[in-house]
Amino acid sequence: MGSVNNKARPFSAQHYQQPLCGRRHQIGGLLLVATTVFLTKLLDRSSLPCSFTVDPIATSRSSVHVTNGGELLWPHRGYGPVVDLKIYVYDEHEIDGLKALMYGRDGAIDSRSCLKGQWGTQVKIHRLLQESRFRTRRKEEADLFFVPTYTKCVRMLGGLNDKEINQTYVKVFSQMPYFRRSGGRDHIFVFPSGAGAHLFRSWAKFINRSIILTPEGDRTDKKDTSAFNTWKDIIIPGNVDDGMTTNSATLVHPLPLSKRKYLANYLGRAQGKAGRLKLIELSKKFPDKLECPELKFSGPDKLGRIDYFEHLRNAKFCLAPRGESSWTLRFYEAFFVECVPVLLSDEVELPFQNVVDYTQISIKWPSTRIGPELLQYLESIPDESIDRMISRGRQVRCLWAYASESASCSAMHAILWELQRKVRLFHQSTETFWLHDGSIVNRNLVKFSDWRPPMPLP
């Protein structure tokens, strides 16, 4: 390769008639340049913070793939092969009020008790980010900011009431200059239950621009508006029992299709919901095809977690109707017993739709057509087709497991990819202004570096 000081000279007739090198030399030079560029890019890529293997075939596809060895092959389109992200995780001691949103007003709630149930993702995501290679301890270099709260658990265990939750969130925001700088656009919150961000009554005023991680995509049946915005928020998987998502410690193993007793099952309470009541009635008419056992979660007849998954694995199709909200944990659980999930929830939102084609691994049936027609349709599907759907689901179910970054595929890997798509180079809010020298100031022309809590809020 020539020196940067060499200047191009125009070719004269003499130069053309007496070339300095032949065609073979030219081709060899081009190959040398191409090889150098390729090796340079390869070395640059290997030095970046995190990358998943990119399959030459998979790069032309839009869906995620997993190798036989469990390695995640992320599609190149729309993502690129590298995660390059810096996330600041607020410490519970640095902001007055944050501990109350994690452990209650008296600090008496143990975070271990918040790991169970559908709200466990609040704790899991927080812990995984604390140990993440993408965590930074310098706010000034952060792309995004994670605000740890265990609000659903705290509320369920009596640590805070609804009014206290609202007041405490507002108190926390008043102490966060970076939240004020962007209007919350680069701040991340987890609301893992069916209620979603509505647990914080004033969400629409304070965090309507923030990034919300939630399994819940719709609450318009009970609220005037949904807290989920498909363009800024991220749907996350529900919290499946760790005993089912860990390969080395699976509570219950799948059964061969030929040994499954039922065509379909529904394991859940009626809760007065139309779809669920229809399924229970349908099971009474077709008890040999559809299993709908009466579930008891307390008392001597309580269904244990192993019994639950043993029931779930005993059918070819696991029916997942909506309950109090549109999402259902049963959809994710079905993949770990290798039962094809059938969604009976019209408003449901599913995670990682940019890279997962759900038509290949599940069925969505209109909730208004629950009846014998549904069973007839499921019965018409040949076992070969069911096997193919199960096999494809087996390849991507690692995306529903909240494992550490050491795992080659996990829900956190996918969440990080989604978060990277939310990063903004520029930050602004209604109370952020900038001057000719690039300095960021507030309405009183005070430079951002000099902003001091408490911050004025809308």
Q: How many residues does the chain have?
A: 458
Asked if residue 439 is part of any domain, the answer here is no
**pLDDT (0 to 100) of residue 222:** 62
Residue found by looking up tokens 């691994």 in the block: 361
Report whether the peptide linkage leading into residue 75 is cis, meaning its omega lies within 30 degrees of zero.
no
Same domain, residue pair 258 and 397 = yes
Same domain, residue pair 233 and 93 = yes
Asked if residue 306 is part of any domain, the answer here is yes
What letter represents residue 194's amino acid? G
Structure-block tokens of residue 37: 């560029």
Asked if residue 330 is part of any domain, the answer here is yes
Q: What is the CATH number of the domain that holds 384?
A: 3.40.50.2000
Asked if residue 455 is part of any domain, the answer here is no
Pick from 366, 401, 436: which residue ends a domain? 401
Strand stretches in 176-302, DSSP E: 187-190, 211-214, 234-235, 262-265, 290-291
Same domain, residue pair 151 and 112 = yes
Same domain, residue pair 97 and 230 = yes
Question: β-pairing, 72-73 with 87-89?
Answer: unpaired
What letter represents residue 214's amino acid? T
State CA 31 to chain mean position distance: 43
What letter represents residue 345's amino acid? S
In order of 120, 207, 336, 398, 402, the CA distances from 242 in angstroms are 11, 31, 11, 12, 8
Encode the chain (458 residues) as per-residue pLDDT tens digits: 433 333 333 333 333 344 444 555 555 555 555 555 444 444 343 333 444 443 433 434 457 777 777 777 777 655 566 888 999 999 999 999 999 999 999 999 999 999 887 789 999 999 999 999 999 999 999 999 999 999 999 999 999 999 999 999 999 999 999 999 999 999 999 998 878 898 999 999 999 999 999 998 876 556 677 888 989 999 999 999 988 988 666 789 999 999 999 999 999 888 888 999 999 999 999 999 999 987 776 777 777 888 899 999 999 999 999 888 888 999 999 999 999 999 999 999 999 998 899 999 999 999 999 999 999 999 999 999 999 999 999 999 999 999 988 888 899 999 999 999 999 889 899 999 999 999 999 999 999 999 999 988 77
Residue 420 contacts residue 83 (beta carbons within 8 Å): yes
Residue 266 contacts residue 290 (beta carbons within 8 Å): yes
Separation of alpha carbons 411 and 214, rounded Å: 13
**pLDDT (0 to 100) of residue 76:** 66
Q: DSSP string of 102-142?
A: HH-TTS---GGGGSSSTTHHHHHHHHHHHT-TTEES-GGG-
Same domain, residue pair 19 and 117 = no
Same domain, residue pair 213 and 125 = yes
Asked if residue 440 is part of any domain, the answer here is no
Residues 6 or more apart in contact with residue 127 via CB below 8 angstroms? none
H runs (alpha helix) in 50-202 = 98-103, 120-130, 151-156, 162-173, 177-182
| Closest C-alpha to 390, from 356, 358, 352, 362 | 362
Residues 6 or more apart in contact with residue 39 via CB below 8 angstroms? none
Tell me how many degrees the CA angle 122-128-133 measures, rounded to the nearest 5: 145
Asked if residue 317 is part of any domain, the answer here is yes
Q: Over the Cα atoms of the chain, what is R_g?
A: 27
In order of 261, 338, 452, the CA distances from 387 in angstroms are 16, 9, 60
**pLDDT (0 to 100) of residue 226:** 82
**pLDDT (0 to 100) of residue 118:** 79
Q: What is the pTM of this model?
A: 0.83
Asked if residue 65 is part of any domain, the answer here is yes
Residue 67 contacts residue 73 (beta carbons within 8 Å): yes
User: How many domains, the chain?
Assistant: 3
Evaluated on CA atoms 204, 205, 211, 215, the torsion sign reads negative
Residue 126 contacts residue 89 (beta carbons within 8 Å): yes
Asked if residue 186 is part of any domain, the answer here is yes
**pLDDT (0 to 100) of residue 408:** 85
Same domain, residue pair 128 and 225 = yes
Same domain, residue pair 38 and 177 = no
Same domain, residue pair 130 and 67 = no
Separation of alpha carbons 286 and 375, rounded Å: 9
Pick from 184, 217, 239: which residue ends a domain? 239
Pick from 79, 102, 129: which residue ends a domain? 79
**pLDDT (0 to 100) of residue 196:** 84
Residues 6 or more apart in contact with residue 265 via CB below 8 angstroms? 290, 291, 292, 311, 312, 314, 315, 317, 318, 319, 339
Same domain, residue pair 210 and 322 = no
Same domain, residue pair 279 and 208 = no
| Closest C-alpha to 331, from 343, 314, 316, 315 | 343
Same domain, residue pair 275 and 292 = yes
**pLDDT (0 to 100) of residue 246:** 81
What is the residue range of 52's domain? 13-79
